[in-house]
Structure 1
Amino acid sequence: MYLNTHSYFSLRYGTFSLEKLLETAQESGVKTLALTDINISSCCMDFFRMAPRYGIKPILGVDFRNSAVKQFIMLAKSAEGYTQINHYLSKILLKSEAVIPDRAPLLSDTYVIYPFKKIEKADWQLKANEFIGVASQELNQLRFSKWKNQLHKLVILHPVSFLGKTSFNMHRLLRAIDKNVLLSKLPKEEQAEEWHQMLPVEKLREKFRDFPEIIKNTEDLLDSCEVKIDINGSTPKNQKCYSGNEELDFRLLRKLSYDGLTYRYPRPSERVYKRIEQELEIIRQKGFVSYFLINWKILKYARSKGFYYVGRGSGANSIIAYLLQITNVDPIDLDLYFERFINLYRKNPPDFDIDFSWMDRDDVIEFIFNRFPNTALVAVYNTFQYRAAIRELGKVMGLPKHEIDVLTRAKGKFDYHALDKLSQLVIRYASYLQDMPNYLGIHAGGIIISDEPIQTYCATFLPPKGFPTAQIDMVVAEDIGLYKFDILSQRGLGKIRDAVYIVESNVGVRVDINDFKRFKEDEKIKELLREAKAIGCFYVESPAMRMLMKKLRVDNYLGLVAASSIIRPGVAKSGMMREYIQRYRKPERRKDAHPIMLDIMPETYGVMVYQEDVIKVAHYFAGLDLGEADMLRRGMSGKFRSKDEFQKVKAKFFSNCKEKGYSDELTAEIWRQTESFAGYAFAKGHSASYAVESYQSLFLKAYYPLEYMVATINNGGGFYSRELYVHEARMNGGTIHAPCVNRSNLQTIIKGKDIYLGFHTIQSLDSNFAQKIIRERVKNGPFDSLDDLIDRVSVTLENLIILIKVDGLRSMGKDKRSLLWEAHMKINGVSFEEHIPLLFRPPGAEFDLPPLPSTDSEQAFDQLEHLGFTLESPFDLIKDHEPNLLLARDLPSMVGRTISIDGYLICTKNTSTSNGKRMYFGTFLDSAGDFIDTVHFPPVAERYPFSGPGVYKITGKVMEEFESISIEVTCMSRLPIIEDPRYAA
């Protein structure tokens, strides 16, 4: 009886979850139900799967609307009809302006229902599949309408959008948020009627008792709809064949695998051959042959374009992936657990994560869309979170900004009952909205390549990214059997790519960045790792990682692989990071491990470090089969569909341990360790992939530090701000030059050891202006004067002033102040939109100005303003302060003593203690350019907070743990700087 129901996936309109809709329908005696969310089919596959559990036959459709105005409803008679609806909706949503027409197209396997209010006075000849939906409130109008004589074309239209008064209020608030208007100003046509709620079926029938034919028409229409779609996730729905023939696919995969032996294993062992055959058989049985071949084709294209990439994730556990050059991780060398990636018991599809440079990724995605027909990006459901919900609700309810700020900042810290009524309403409804879908976004890198058209399962839309995107997220896709291809981007690969090019152009050396075996044995790289001198290097440059590497004295690949995983929050939270360090440094501690745990994980001394360890512990320690063990891993990481299934596996974990004779205390402790870190741990292959990239960047840093720092600066830096990478280049012997109109390019460049910062480092400088300077200089030579620059390049006074202040015109032989005077007198605020070259250049006006030299401190303040940092020493800007001669290099000899030292703040990190209080970690540079690491416990952090960038006087106790030095701060203050001399009287 219900042809038009909405879940909260009718974004910013519907108010309840699919589960709530189905529960309410079941309680109301509904046996057949049509889900018709507004201009979206995100929820349809879940609805199709879940409805039978409630004894309800699912009907799939879409409510087509312009804003809140209903144009028509489409219902699918069959699976083909559902696909037709999705194709039609996609066609509309893929346009830049999505407008729903008044009349629906003729789609053979669909029904179309027009609202009575819309069609009442229309002079339409309805097609066989078209009907008019009448609400009970419209029956009196129907009696006087021409349609009363065509009752065979009428059906019941009782929309369902909310459950009660509170739900209706939520709906109105959502509509106001969507239209960005005050609730009091929300137009009537932009909201539903309050009666759009579900009634018991018999009560709805009673309302139409005088029109039994309408009741029968509605029932007949629903009975005639029968959608059957295979959404069994255990059967892959991705492109089934790469070559068009499954047997040919398998032969190709086998051939490519053995062809790769020469490159990967010049002298393969029996173990290698055995692993290849084992993996090929499992891949074939699970139906993942085409998945490997598609990945191979994508990366073959990338290599043909010279793109750098990293194949990581659990896919790096596969020798077939290694042989096909999908990953660069040797699973034999690392003894990687293939079953983490694919096993015969695993119901969920595997996936590869392929990282490209941020500059190359879109090219690869475009290739995928052009090469494979049924392709779409994967959506994410962006939900309302507390602070965002408070802000949105505060705005539409008319709260002043300062009151909204108080409510967003002070979650849980205010007295709810002391708030005014309006603020209480904001808090109350924010809690209702929390975690509801707000809008569809794009997954970071997920792409699905389906065997059937994507519209078999959902519609697609066109986000700003510019590629068709499915209206389902990765969880729904996996449930269907569509396993995604992750095509991701990261700046680390851009740095490596650019550094290789810069080395070749600046030094004349061609670097083989894939000579990984050499890198593993390189003594310079080992030294950088041991001493944690890895600034700029992928994944190993953060303060926490630097301290960990010092504690572990990491100098080999396997050690770095482990370090890459134990740095993750889960291992630290479980207490096992510290235990791993202890067992690594003190072999006698290894006997503390349970014998079974030590036997399962000898490489990590019985400590769980990788995701595979969860599977191993569940399988070998608790006796779960591999399918159950993998379900446990996914459940702990939050990637589960059924909490009931997870709880059953958890119960079996404990019962099996009891049968094995383990004490309750031991089982509980192993469970605690497993549960606390599983959601954050890396797969070992993932850590190994990261470590490969770390080694590549470490090699470049070890042998070509200046070129590598230039590449780092040009690729947006890394963990730290651009300033630190400029500093690091200087520490490695580079001479840093401010941007220069006659030397610099848009990007930073290096010539020998001279590094010229690019125009991109100048804040607020128009990039188009910078490009004009470069083009003109390349075409007609350098600029010899301000007049020459003005004559040859169209320029605004604002851009010229910025350029002069960063000393960009220093090659013209005049001081900055004189150039500024001239610029004001010659440009006079006029903007030349288009430069017109002159046949004869008139002589520029000359002004007789006295010398106007500027000081180093003025230069520093100009750089702070326009670069964001100074090329001078920040310690030179301290006001009335005696230099502190104590340096970071002196601290190892002062362990246990309380000292004071000056440090220039680089970055901070905060975390919560076990009782919920905030503590901080600081990273500073001393005046010699070396690092100082600090710890700020909650009382000190509260009393002596960080107060922005600058030089701080730090007082505290010098602490040492496994040769890693830090200061436990007892007091701290930022030192005042001199008055800005540019504005001094």
Structure 2
Amino acid sequence: MYLNCHSYFSLRYGTISPEKLLALSAANGFKTMALTDINNTSACLDFARLADKYNINPVLGVDFRNGAQQQFIILAKNNTGFHNINTYLSTFLHDTSLIIPEQAPTLEDTYVIYPYIHGKNFNLKTHEYIGVKPQDLNKLKFSKTNNNRSKLVILQPVSFEDKKGFNTHRLLRAIANNCLLSKLPKSEEGQETDNMLSAKQLSEVYNEFPELIENTKSILKQCTINFDFSGDTPNNQKSYTKSEDLDFKLLKKLTYDGLDYRYQKPDAVIFNRIEKELGIIKEKNFVSYFLMNWKILKYARSKNYYYVGRGSGANSIVAYLLRITDVDPVELDLYFERFINLYRKNPPDFDIDFSWTDRDDITQFIFKTFKNTALLAVYNTFKFKASVRELGKVFGLPKSEIDTLSKGHYNIKTLDKLSKLVLIYSEYIQGFPNYLGIHASGIIISEKPIHYYTATFFPPKGFATTHFDMVVAEDIGLYKFDILSQRGLGKIKDTVAIVQYNHPEKPPIDIHDIKSFKTDENIKHILRNAQAIGCFYVESPAMRMLLKKLQVDNYLGLVAASSIIRPGVAKSGMMREYILRYRDPERRKTAHPVLLNIMPETYGVMVYQEDVIKVAHYFGGLTLAEADKLRRGMSGKFRSRDEFLSVKQLFFNNCKAKGEPQHVVEEIWKQIESFAGYAFAKGHSASYAVESYQSLFLKAYFPLEYMVATINNFGGFYSTELYVHEARMHGGSIEAPCVNTSFNDTIINGKTIYLGFMFLHGLEVKTIKKLLFEREKNGAFKSLDDFIERLSISVEQTALLIKINAFRFTGVNKRELLWEAHLKTSKTVIQDHVINLFETKRIDYKTPELPSTTLEDAFDALELLGFTLCNPFYLLEQTAVQPLRATQLTKFKNRIISIEGYLVTTKNTRTSNGKYMHFGTFLDYDGHFIDTVHFPPVASKYPFRGKGIYTITGKVIEEFDCVTIEVIAMEKLAIVQDPRYSDPSPKFITQNKKTPTNRHLK
């Protein structure tokens, strides 16, 4: 008898999870209930899916409101009504300037319930009713509305479970209104009585109005909703050509047409694999899914977009021949059943990576090409620390107290009542949905209109977006297309173009010649010595150390390393075991013989997702259907569901029946569990490795051009500063931006690299556009006067360029140039110049000699670029005293040493008992890497104190040819005082008035 129930997807209003609503309904004796979240349908499908579990008939609808003001509720009689409600709601969510009217529209197969308003005359249509709340019953007795009881229904809202839920609701409303709790208007919150009464209690409340009870039951009885949650039938667009028979003929033709491109002499193994795959793809109704991916990537190639196809679909030879992926499953012996099998309900994953500059155009193409398309949402939830801040403001706590609470720097016993409430309720709302966002890559293309399943909103990205996430989409048989963006592909594409202009004499690069890259000795050298800074997926400190430990110098080794580095393998302890077995053939004999037989290539160690499926099938005795449940469980999305737990028990039962020792079975299951949510399919890792090889080739032969492309694509794992440093280590001469040479992007001329204007903090885009347009139209600038005369920009913008020495070609000291700029340029924003017939003569001001120093240049660069263009060790207050260098550390194995290092990056993690520890990456004086480990006692006593140079004291540890320092003490060193606000230091050379700045202290 509940027509107006809110889950916590009534964002910043409701406080009950959808499943909890169902549990409450069942506990209170109800067989039917309506979920009507406020302007939202996120929970609808999950609510309908879970309803069977509680023996509840679900009714779906929406509570239409302007802010907190309820206008009306619309309930769906059936799926058509739900479709119509979603379409109507979406008009307001796509155009937020629209106001929901007082009068509901006439939508087929729906019921409308208006909230009772005393004294208001309702002109109701056949499908419309008035909902009466318990507090309105007395007024109803004396109202004309009472005379037409056939149009009255019960309207007992359910928004929270109890008093704590109501308090939480009020806090959420205060957050939504950005006001103090004490200032929250009553009109912005629900009634304290908006909770669920039992069937008996509700009947007693309305016992004087039996017609209301019967009318409510009648409406609910006529509402049914049916969705298939079995996943047996995909609901993606069923046909690419509008004929499923033609679809298969086209797929088969495209597959065989691709043989010439991929194979010189295809053999029986290849043909058999093709036929096997085509048969299962057809049987599982995945044909259109393959063709739509092919269509998207055919368009990408027509636009010369670089892409990488990966995911479990990379195990498919059909995908390889359609050029969806670049991984040959026959060459790599990729496990067919990881890609697809007869028991698999959902299509294989195709994660398609594009350059971040190309992805939006691809998305636009998909929306234009396919009719029923939408982006998938994600539920951005309340996080504890953010909730502490939000609730701290709601309770009116001072900022200092909020900071203390959010950082966890408090003694709970000394906190006042309000602070304790902030912590209690922050923990309570942790995990509540806060607002809807956009999935990083997911797009659905359905056979039915998107609004058949959900309402859509229209975020700034400009594409219709569902209200549900990828898990709900998969539950309903809508399998996503993953269109991702990454900077690695942009770097590769841009490097090829940069090489063409910097080395016009060289032949064009065939970046797709992966076969020759795999045997290239220079690439092997980079891999073995872990010199892959900037290269896709192999540049992080962890990967750099792993490459050293494994001494990887071949494609298959890199494929394995790409998966071994994942948290699942590392967490189970098998990464170390793999390294030991890799380096010591004798140790491989200690592997369980069945596991070694299943995975000889990885020495009996589970490295890939398909290894887990193989182990479950061959060792655990699971059928492929049961193993497919395990595959789904490994995604991390379904681990809490009964299906995963049932497979676990079956695994143990089968192993016990085979006589396997319990401790062995437990250890193997522990390894299986560690893969959940983290492991890569081998084809996925192989796809990554292809892109790694492309970037390794460019790094090996064109390191400066590759670093320029890396800088312009905003780096990778590290900051811009490190890639500038890496370019310098490869012989590049780094120049600050120059008004006559630089562009928006960083450019290279020979070995000289000019940083781009876009890296100057505070320099406006319109200034850069004006400068480049004027320079292209009328040539280089001759002087500061010429620059000021030709460009109408503010003195502040001119000053930024002067400070970074962008006018060094004039030979005039920048302090003098700053004086001139302030004297000759207005501080107000001036309009573009109007062309005059006669040139205006400027007054030639005489400025005094104002020498500046290289130290000032360093601090200006630090302010404007975020890093200096000189060696950062030159900024130390006291000259570096430790003579030790990173290359010498191997001589001091197991000894305590001290060395100075410039902090590059840190990784924070927790030990098994929850204590923080860190891994550090530093550069020594000569620019070589120092790797450090900071165990909890040291991490607590000697914390990192931001960017800068540290004296590191610790024990040198060498393991598998990889050197690290176990830190026992660490001190951040002081740098010199900023000379721009003090007397210049005598250790720096003073510039002569007519001498260009020496920017590279070497």
Question: TM-score scaled to structure 2, two decimals?
Answer: 0.96
SS in 1 for 2:518: helix
1:215 is displaced (CA, Å) by 2.3
- What corresponds to 1:139 in structure 2? 137
Quickly say closer, same or farther: Cα 1:771–1:29, change in 2 above 3 A.
same
CA contact (8 A) 2:633 2:676 kept: no
In 2, the alpha carbon distance for the partners of 1:928 and 1:418 equals 50
- What corresponds to 1:940 in structure 2? 938
1:309 alignment partner, one of 299, 307, 316:
307
Q: Which amino acid in the other structure matches residue 430 of structure 2?
A: Q
Identify which range, 40-49 or 963-972, moves more after superposition.
963-972
Mapped pair 1:297 → 2:320: no
- What corresponds to 2:469 in structure 1? 473
1:123 is displaced (CA, Å) by 4.4
Quickly say closer, same or farther: Cα 1:798–1:74, change in 2 above 3 A.
same
Mapped pair 1:629 → 2:633: no
1:152 is displaced (CA, Å) by 1.9
Identify which range, 339-348 or 260-269, moves more after superposition.
339-348
- What corresponds to 2:44 in structure 1? 44
- What corresponds to 1:76 in structure 2? 76
Identity %: 64
1:642 is displaced (CA, Å) by 5.4
1:317 is displaced (CA, Å) by 1.0
1:897 is displaced (CA, Å) by 3.4
1:40 is displaced (CA, Å) by 0.9
1:207 is displaced (CA, Å) by 2.6
In 2, the alpha carbon distance for the partners of 1:303 and 1:722 equals 30
1:417 is displaced (CA, Å) by 4.1
Identify which range, 561-570 or 92-101, moves more after superposition.
92-101
Which residues of 2 match residues 439-588 of structure 1 at below 5 A? 439-508=435-504, 509-588=507-586
In 2, the alpha carbon distance for the partners of 1:94 and 1:151 equals 37
1:230 is displaced (CA, Å) by 3.3
Mapped pair 1:115 → 2:115: yes
1:961 alignment partner, one of 940, 959, 967:
959
In 1, the alpha carbon distance for the partners of 2:9 and 2:84 equals 20
1:873 is displaced (CA, Å) by 1.4
- What corresponds to 1:254 in structure 2? 252
2:318 alignment partner, one of 306, 317, 320:
320
1:629 is displaced (CA, Å) by 1.9
CA contact (8 A) 1:792 1:837 kept: no
Q: Deviations over 1:277-301 (max 9, x none)?
A: 1111111111111000000001111
CA contact (8 A) 2:742 2:755 kept: yes
In 2, the alpha carbon distance for the partners of 1:342 and 1:100 equals 47
Give unmatched runs, 5+ long, in structure 1: none
Which residues of 2 match residues 332-371 of structure 1 at below 5 A? 332-371=330-369
CA RMSD of aligned residues (A): 1.6
In 1, the alpha carbon distance for the partners of 2:729 and 2:348 equals 45
SS in 1 for 2:422: helix
- What corresponds to 1:29 in structure 2? 29
Q: Deviations over 1:826-848 (max 9, x none)?
A: 12523214333333222222122
- What corresponds to 2:993 in structure 1? none
Give unmatched runs, 5+ long, in structure 2: 984-1002
1:644 is displaced (CA, Å) by 2.1
- What corresponds to 2:705 in structure 1? 707
- What corresponds to 1:425 in structure 2? 421
In 2, the alpha carbon distance for the partners of 1:856 and 1:705 equals 28
Quickly say closer, same or farther: Cα 1:379–1:144, change in 2 above 3 A.
same
CA contact (8 A) 1:349 1:478 kept: no
Mapped pair 1:783 → 2:781: yes
1:915 is displaced (CA, Å) by 3.1
2:897 alignment partner, one of 884, 896, 899:
899
In 2, the alpha carbon distance for the partners of 1:981 and 1:373 equals 63
SS in 2 for 1:678: coil
Q: Which amino acid in the other structure matches residue 433 of structure 1?
A: I
Mapped pair 1:92 → 2:84: no
Q: Which amino acid in the other structure matches residue 576 of structure 1?
A: M
1:60 is displaced (CA, Å) by 1.2
1:674 is displaced (CA, Å) by 1.9
1:911 is displaced (CA, Å) by 2.1
2:798 alignment partner, one of 789, 797, 800:
800
SS in 2 for 1:904: strand
In 1, the alpha carbon distance for the partners of 2:858 and 2:533 equals 25
Q: Which amino acid in the other structure matches residue 879 of structure 2?
A: H
SS in 2 for 1:251: helix
Identify which range, 875-884 or 557-566, moves more after superposition.
875-884
- What corresponds to 1:437 in structure 2? 433
2:720 alignment partner, one of 701, 719, 722:
722
1:850 is displaced (CA, Å) by 4.1
User: How many residues get paired?
Assistant: 981
CA contact (8 A) 1:611 1:678 kept: no
In 1, the alpha carbon distance for the partners of 2:746 and 2:116 equals 66
Q: Which amino acid in the other structure matches residue 960 of structure 2?
A: F
In 2, the alpha carbon distance for the partners of 1:968 and 1:203 equals 67
- What corresponds to 1:180 in structure 2? 178
SS in 2 for 1:765: coil
1:882 is displaced (CA, Å) by 5.0
CA contact (8 A) 2:873 2:880 kept: no
Identify which range, 798-807 or 147-156, moves more after superposition.
147-156
1:519 is displaced (CA, Å) by 1.0
Q: Which amino acid in the other structure matches residue 111 of structure 2?
A: Y
- What corresponds to 1:658 in structure 2? 656
Q: Which amino acid in the other structure matches residue 81 of structure 1?
A: G
In 2, the alpha carbon distance for the partners of 1:834 and 1:145 equals 70
Q: Deviations over 1:919-971 (max 9, x none)?
A: 22222222222222222223333333322222222333332222222223333
SS in 1 for 2:112: strand
CA contact (8 A) 2:374 2:465 kept: yes
In 2, the alpha carbon distance for the partners of 1:21 and 1:941 equals 45
- What corresponds to 1:17 in structure 2? 17
CA contact (8 A) 1:376 1:449 kept: yes
CA contact (8 A) 1:242 1:290 kept: yes
- What corresponds to 2:989 in structure 1? none
SS in 2 for 1:441: strand
Identify which range, 533-542 or 620-629, moves more after superposition.
620-629
Identify which range, 730-739 or 228-237, moves more after superposition.
228-237
In 1, the alpha carbon distance for the partners of 2:783 and 2:457 equals 54
In 2, the alpha carbon distance for the partners of 1:591 and 1:280 equals 40
Q: Deviations over 1:793-841 (max 9, x none)?
A: 1111211111101001111231111101111211252321433333322
- What corresponds to 1:647 in structure 2? 645
1:890 is displaced (CA, Å) by 2.3
SS in 2 for 1:84: helix
In 1, the alpha carbon distance for the partners of 2:972 and 2:189 equals 55
CA contact (8 A) 2:234 2:346 kept: no
1:121 is displaced (CA, Å) by 4.0
Q: Which amino acid in the other structure matches residue 428 of structure 1?
A: I
1:866 is displaced (CA, Å) by 1.0
In 1, the alpha carbon distance for the partners of 2:873 and 2:432 equals 50
CA contact (8 A) 2:820 2:847 kept: no
SS in 2 for 1:982: helix
1:862 alignment partner, one of 860, 863, 881:
860
In 2, the alpha carbon distance for the partners of 1:978 and 1:564 equals 43
- What corresponds to 2:751 in structure 1? 753
1:885 is displaced (CA, Å) by 3.6
Q: Deviations over 1:517-570 (max 9, x none)?
A: 111111111111111111110011111111111111111000001111111122
Q: Which amino acid in the other structure matches residue 77 of structure 1?
A: K
CA contact (8 A) 1:350 1:483 kept: no
CA contact (8 A) 2:227 2:476 kept: no
Q: Deviations over 1:711-732 (max 9, x none)?
A: 0000001111111111111111
- What corresponds to 2:825 in structure 1? 827
Identify which range, 778-787 or 916-925, moves more after superposition.
916-925
Mapped pair 1:106 → 2:116: no
